Amino acid sequence: MNYSTQMDAARKGIVTKEMEIVAKEEYMDINILMERVANGSIAIPANKNHKSLSPKGVGQGLSTKINVNLGISKDCPDIEPELEKVKKAIEMKAEAIMDLSSFGKTEEFRKRLVEMSSAMIGTVPIYDAVGFYDKELKDITAKEFLDVVRKHAIDGVDFMTIHAGINKETAEVFKRNKRLTNIVSRGGSLMYAWMQLNNAENPFFEYYDELLDICAEYDVTLSLGDALRPGSINDASDACQIKELITLGELTKRAWEKNVQIIIEGPGHMAIDEIQANMLLQKRLCHNAPFYVLGPIVTDVAPGYDHITSAIGGAIAATYGADFLCYVTPAEHLRLPNLEDMKEGIIASRIAAHAADIAKKIPKAREWDNKMSKARADIDWETMFNLSMDEEKARRYRKESMPENEDTCTMCGKMCAMRTMNKIMAGEDLNILREA
């Protein structure tokens, strides 16, 4: 039987190879997985032209996935350092990589990225449009925006962020409700600017059906961008954000009618006590579609440490419904992240995702922790290293400060609680001051 997308296949009762892989990795019954792909609560972003992809599922009952942002810009146009980041991100088990390139050899970078990456690839076509056409934003036509989307689809991109929710109606709500930080989404600000400069409707909203046809042809998952996401905790949960979310829910149903898979993008900056309610509201308004969050960053005053502020919010968000975390690095709000920034951002996001998976009782999540606890009780250093989320750092820290006794560390020495209990419970003598 023929099918256009993973959703179309699921609705026809066809088990694709991508579904088989996801079901096996996630310890989920294939029939449950297929039912959730069919109803849109799980998406499997898998462009037909992405041949190196190791498919992953995003959504209800699956482990929380993380995304890494990369790409070249006018100030940092060199492709090779970004490709080194790609290799490291894949090695560190990031499930998705978003190419946010906005200047220079964007097509070359995107094609090389898709060719080498086993992780799913996302893009934001509006970033690429200005450089692709070598035109000012105002002069790009609606058709040209759609042509860039098609180009990215042909190149093998698995999911695309499209800011279709900021239409004329949503823009009026924004104008009436003053914000501290206005529009902080790069793509959202560009689209809003285009609409104002041309006194025209958002082309991705006006020609949404044509956009869906492109996505269906290549099985591109549409990641509906939150142009009005809060960029400060002051602006969270306001009328602008909620109005756009309602629109995204309506666009979700229209996409599903054409068998196009959907992911909804969310906040943003948000105080801790608002996160749970926002996750529940998104799931309700967007019909349980997978939810993808940037953070949320829970305080605005920690530049240089936003990987931490983001991980705090991400863990809470994923516990209460978010399915996909976009990493944030220490360089957020300051500069393009370097390789070390990226590594710190990945680990912070993976910690948040795993902590939430334990809370969500994702199969095998707690088992990893139990194995680590057993290795610590046994003072089995090699097993501890092998189980570490960042094995290299764990080994380095141990090596940098070696203890006198192998069965201790330099924190406690022979007063190590694990060592003490192991000896006493085994009926052995305890030597803390003596050498023997």
CATH number of the structural domain spanning residue 314: 3.20.20.540
Residue 1 lies in a domain: no
- Cα 237 to Cα 243, 251, 313, distances in angstroms: 10, 20, 15
Residue 7 annotated as lining a ligand binding site: no
**261 half-sphere exposure, CB direction, 13 A CA radius:** 32
* 130 band by pLDDT with thresholds 50, 70 and 90: confident
pLDDT value of residue 148: 97
Q: Are residues 246 and 393 in the same domain?
A: no
E strand spans, 1-119 = 42-43, 58-59, 65-70, 96-99
228 is an annotated ligand-binding site residue? yes
Q: What is the pLDDT of residue 434?
A: 81
Q: Is 292 annotated as a binding residue?
A: yes
* Local structure of 122: helix, strand or coil: strand
Question: Is 333 one of the annotated binding-site residues?
Answer: yes
Q: Is residue 69 part of a domain?
A: yes
Model confidence at 5, pLDDT cuts 50, 70, 90, reads very high
Q: Is 127 annotated as a binding residue?
A: yes
Burial of 48 (0-12, 13-18, 19+ CB in 10 A): middle
281 and 412 in a single domain? The answer is: no
Alpha carbon distance, N-terminus to C-terminus of the chain: 73
Annotated binding residue 327: no
76 among the known binding-site residues? no
Task: Flag whether 416 is marked binding.
Answer: yes
> In this predicted structure, which of 250-264, 328-342, 378-392, 422-436 has the lowest mean pLDDT?
422-436
Give dist(CA 64, CA 211) in Å, integer: 28
**278 in a domain, yes or no?**
yes
For residue 269, the 8-state DSSP code is: B
Radius of gyration of the chain measured on its C-alpha atoms:
23
Residue 229 has pLDDT above 60, yes or no: yes
Q: Is residue 349, in this structure, part of any structural domain at all?
A: yes
Q: Are residues 327 and 375 in the same domain?
A: no
Q: How confident is the model at residue 436 (pLDDT cuts 50, 70, 90)?
A: low
| Mean pLDDT along residues 288-292 | 98
* Number of domains the chain contains: 3
Q: Is 326 annotated as a binding residue?
A: no
- Shared domain check, 417 and 309: no
- Tell me what pLDDT residue 290 has: 98
- Residue 266 confidence class, pLDDT cut points 50, 70, 90: very high
Q: Is 243 a member of any domain?
A: yes
pLDDT at 292 over 60: yes
Question: 């949960």: which residue's tokens?
Answer: 237
For residue 200, tell me if it sits in a domain: yes
- Tell me if 108 is assigned to some domain: yes
384 and 412 both lie in a single domain: no
Whether 435 has a pLDDT exceeding 80, the answer reads no
* Per-residue pLDDT, 347: 98
Residues 395 and 353 in one domain: no
**Residue 322 backbone phi and psi in degrees, to 5:** -65, 140
Is 27 one of the annotated binding-site residues?
no
Tell whether 353 is covered by a domain.
yes
pLDDT at position 185, please?
96
Same domain flag for 381 and 306:
no
pLDDT exceeds cutoff 60 at 194: yes
195 and 225: one domain?
yes
Does 158 carry a binding-site annotation? no
Residue 221 zone, left/alpha/beta (φ > 0; ψ -120 to 50; rest) = beta
Same domain, 350 and 381: no
Instruction: Tell me if 186 is assigned to a ligand binding site.
Output: yes
Mean pLDDT over each residue of the chain, to the nearest integer = 96
Q: State the average pLDDT over residues 423-433.
A: 91
Pair (396, 406) in one structural domain: no
Instruction: Report pLDDT for 158.
Output: 98
User: Do 140 and 223 belong to one domain?
Assistant: yes
Confirm or deny that 84 is annotated as ligand binding. no
% of the chain residues with pLDDT over 90: 95
Range of the domain at 22: 6-359
Match 């350092």 to its residue by tokens: 81
**Which distant-in-sequence residues (6+ apart) come within 8 Å of 230 by Cβ?**
181, 184, 236, 237, 238, 241, 267, 268, 269, 270
Q: Are 310 and 435 found together in one domain?
A: no
Between CA 229 and CA 268 the distance in angstroms is: 5
pLDDT of residue 1: 59
